[in-house]
Amino acid sequence: MIVSVIIPCRNEEKYIAQCIDSILESDYQKEEFEIIVVDGMSNDKTIDIVENYLNRYGFIKLIKNPKQTTQWALNKGIIEAKGDVIIILGAHAAISQNYISGCVEILKNDNETVCAGGLVENICENDISKIIGYAMSSSFGVGNAYFRTGDKSGFVDTVAFGAYKKEIFEKIGYFDEDLVRNQDDEFNFRVTKNGYKIFLDTKLKLLYYTRASFKKLFNQYFQYGYWKVYVNKKHKAVTTLRQLVPSLFLIFLVFGFFISFSNIYLRFGYRLTILTYIVLAIKSGLNKTDTIRELGLFIYTCLILHISYGSGYLWGVISFLILRKTPSKHSQELTR
């Protein structure tokens, strides 16, 4: 099967070479794949780096993305692709040598499986990104996102940077160009909604450079929560139950605090719930951290993940469902 790897990017001079190199080092035969970089008008050295690869490899293409949006880049790449299989890859990611061949093998063996993916392993560039990586690979931090926690191989509701049979785009449409965030989750929801399957194989690895800032992490997950409501509104359905947990937790924190003053039993229940949260966070963090400082930062990071996503989700409910607004300009800004 011919494989097309599509990489949307903008100003990725620090990472794009590592991403492309990981594909070139794949055990899949080079005459059987192509690399399509869709660049959002970078003004750093990204284009120079990619053009250097173009001069050496005839199967690498560079396409301009004047709209500078990820979803447009993905769809443009898919339209231009020659492959039977389309792999979506972020410039901040790198793949294991067996990733392409492993995904292709999964897709060849089951007609109903139209998407395959692997386990995301975080690459940490400093102490903060290391802690963030710990939290994002824990079930306490991100719930049952199996492509991050690595709990199991099998059929799942979504994967990161999936490999898709190209025919699925002809059957259910392309990535939703209204979505700045969650476009892959929304597409995968349509995949499963239409009766097709997504398979996660934890033997296949994706390396991903995590954010190295708590502020950027907060903004990222606030946007995830906010845009998830927009997806729900479009589909008139809650796509996964786990998306509700952070917002319910945040509502409990705020309203539970005030209600707890009215009754000793409510106060006890409120404090017990907070204590349970802390104990679960500590239990999860002890499996990953080495020092008390790291454990404290792990708990803090989990709190950021839950509160940012929950507050973004609640703001999305207010904006899209109550006030009937369209997505704000601020919500479309990149958090990198």
Q: Is the pLDDT of residue 333 over 70?
A: no
Q: Quote the percentage of the chain above a pLDDT of 90.
A: 71
pLDDT at 212: 77
- Under the banding of pLDDT at 50, 70 and 90, the label for residue 144 is confident
The rounded mean pLDDT for the chain is 91
| Neighbouring C-alpha atoms within 13 Å toward the C-beta of 183 | 19
8 A C-beta contact, residue 4 and residue 83: yes
Write down the pTM of the prediction.
0.87
Helix (H) or strand (E) holding 274: helix 264-286
Q: What is the CATH number of the domain that holds 119?
A: 3.90.550.10
Tokens of residue 57, six digits: 């490899």
Q: What is the pLDDT of residues 84-119, one digit of tens each?
A: 999 999 999 999 999 999 999 999 988 889 999 999
8 A C-beta contact, residue 5 and residue 36: yes
pLDDT at 334: 61
Please check whether residues 55 and 178 belong to one and the same domain: yes
Q: Is the pLDDT of residue 272 over 90?
A: yes
Among the listed residues 46, 44, 145, 160, the one whose alpha carbon sits nearest the alpha carbon of residue 93: 160
d(CA 69, CA 49): 21
Q: Is the pLDDT of residue 161 over 60?
A: yes
Please check whether residues 266 and 162 belong to one and the same domain: no
Please check whether residues 98 and 175 belong to one and the same domain: yes
Q: Is the pLDDT of residue 216 over 70?
A: yes
Please check whether residues 267 and 151 belong to one and the same domain: no
pLDDT at 80: 94
Q: Please give the sequence-ordered ranges of beta strands (E in DSSP) within the chain, or none if there are none.
A: 3-9, 33-39, 60-64, 85-88, 93-95, 113-123, 154-156, 163-165, 197-209
Residue 217 lies inside a defined structural domain of this protein? no
Phi, psi of 178 (to 5 degrees): -80, -15
β-pairing, 113-123 vs 163-165, is antiparallel
Tokens of residue 120, six digits: 């995301």
8 A C-beta contact, residue 171 and residue 269: no
Q: Is the pLDDT of residue 201 over 60?
A: yes
CB count within 10 Å of CB 244 equals: 13
Summarize the confidence of residues 115-128 as an average pLDDT: 88
Choose from 151-165, 200-214, 297-311 the range with maximum mean pLDDT: 297-311
Q: What is the pLDDT of residues 9-41, one digit of tens each?
A: 999 999 999 999 999 999 998 889 999 999 999
d(CA 45, CA 16): 10
CB count within 10 Å of CB 221 equals: 26
pLDDT at 271: 94
The dihedral formed by the CA atoms of 197, 201, 205 and 208, expressed in degrees to the nearest 10: 40
d(CA 309, CA 295): 21
Alpha-carbon distances of 36 from 118, 256, 292, rounded to whole Å: 21, 51, 45
What are the residues whose beta carbons fall under 8 Å from the beta carbon of 289, sequence distance 6 or more? 131, 134, 295, 297, 298
pLDDT at 332: 64
Residue 219 lies inside a defined structural domain of this protein? no
What are the residues whose beta carbons fall under 8 Å from the beta carbon of 125, sequence distance 6 or more? 209, 210, 212
Please check whether residues 293 and 147 belong to one and the same domain: no
Among the listed residues 200, 168, 244, 169, the one whose alpha carbon sits nearest the alpha carbon of residue 99: 200
Please check whether residues 248 and 194 belong to one and the same domain: no
DSSP letter for each residue of 50-69: HHHHHTT-TTEEEEE-TT--
8 A C-beta contact, residue 14 and residue 44: no
What are the residues whose beta carbons fall under 8 Å from the beta carbon of 139, sequence distance 6 or more? 149, 151, 284
Q: Is the pLDDT of residue 335 over 70?
A: no
The count of structural domains within the chain is 2
pLDDT at 266: 92
Please check whether residues 48 and 188 belong to one and the same domain: yes
Please check whether residues 74 and 119 belong to one and the same domain: yes
Please check whether residues 182 and 242 belong to one and the same domain: no
Domain of 21? 3-212
Which of helix, strand or coil describes residue 5? strand
Q: What is the pLDDT of residues 218-227, one digit of tens each?
A: 999 999 999 9
Summarize the confidence of residues 274-289 as an average pLDDT: 94
Side chain identity, residue 177: E
Please check whether residues 25 and 147 belong to one and the same domain: yes
